[in-house]
Amino acid sequence: MSRPKVIVNCAMSADGKTALPSRKQLHISCEDDIKRMYMLRNSCDAVLVGVETILSDDPKLTVKDTYVKHPRQPLRVVLDSKGRTPQSALVVNQAASTLIFTVKGNERQYPRSHVEVIGCDADSQGHVNLHEALQVLSQKGIHTVLVEGGGTVIWNFLYNDLVDDLYVYIGPLIIGGAQTPTLATGPGITTEKDLINLTLVDVKKLGPGLLVHYQRKL
């Protein structure tokens, strides 16, 4: 099965946290990393998040022209297994086209021509089947997908061996908290043989933090 290239991009604290203990969004990236993120988003055909990110942060998922001259807006993709994306969410505004994947039977319609809803089979956890969703994107001419979160979505892509490149900006701060969101959440592995191994490609200083580039280990 052909699928687009999948790039995961995220920012975390030195102790691996991606938000406050309350789950409220926290700006970890420095200005240099924000510019890098927008340039990366601009270079991809689609940018993807889970519905929990939509509900908690209400992002537009567009490219700002303050960071990229003459931006090319990617397709905005939401994994929303239960059809919870609000009609008022910024991700369905007219700034770019939007595709919402849901589990079959949970489709809801949006009165806007630039918003498409597609029902997919569910995986064993009741989430949208990622293999099917990526196949649909490939059929639509999408060659590169940028996955920006949240933790459950990133975990599912990693666990299903669907990540080609992983970029992690590590900010010089500590957040703490046993239940604080991390880069990859989900159920996690049960034994050492299930470890998801990566290959370190590059580490470089970016602003006050570090940018780490991994690829999946073949």
| Assigned token pair, 212 | 């780490």
Q: State pLDDT tens for residues 69-99.
A: 999 999 999 999 999 999 999 999 999 999 9
Which residues does 150 contact at the CB level (< 8 Å), separation at least 6? 18, 49, 50, 52, 53, 56, 181, 185
Q: Are 144 and 5 in contact (CB under 8 A)?
A: yes
Q: How confident is the model at residue 164 (pLDDT cuts 50, 70, 90)?
A: very high
Q: State pLDDT tens for residues 13-33.
A: 999 999 999 988 899 999 999
**What pLDDT is recorded for position 24?**
86
Q: Are 74 and 41 in contact (CB under 8 A)?
A: yes
Domain boundaries, the chain: 5-216
Chain-centroid distance, C-alpha 154: 6
**What pLDDT is recorded for position 217?**
85
CA distances from 84 to 33, 60, 69, 88, 92 (A): 31, 16, 34, 11, 12
Q: State pLDDT tens for residues 26-54.
A: 999 999 999 999 999 999 999 999 999 99
Which residues does 130 contact at the CB level (< 8 Å), separation at least 6? 123, 156, 157, 160, 162
Per-residue pLDDT at 1 exceeds 80: no
Per-residue pLDDT at 202 exceeds 70: yes
**What pLDDT is recorded for position 25?**
87
Fold of 5-216: Dihydrofolate Reductase, subunit A (3.40.430)
In whole angstroms, give the CA distance from residue 48 to residue 37: 13
**What pLDDT is recorded for position 23?**
87
**What pLDDT is recorded for position 2?**
84
**What pLDDT is recorded for position 178?**
94
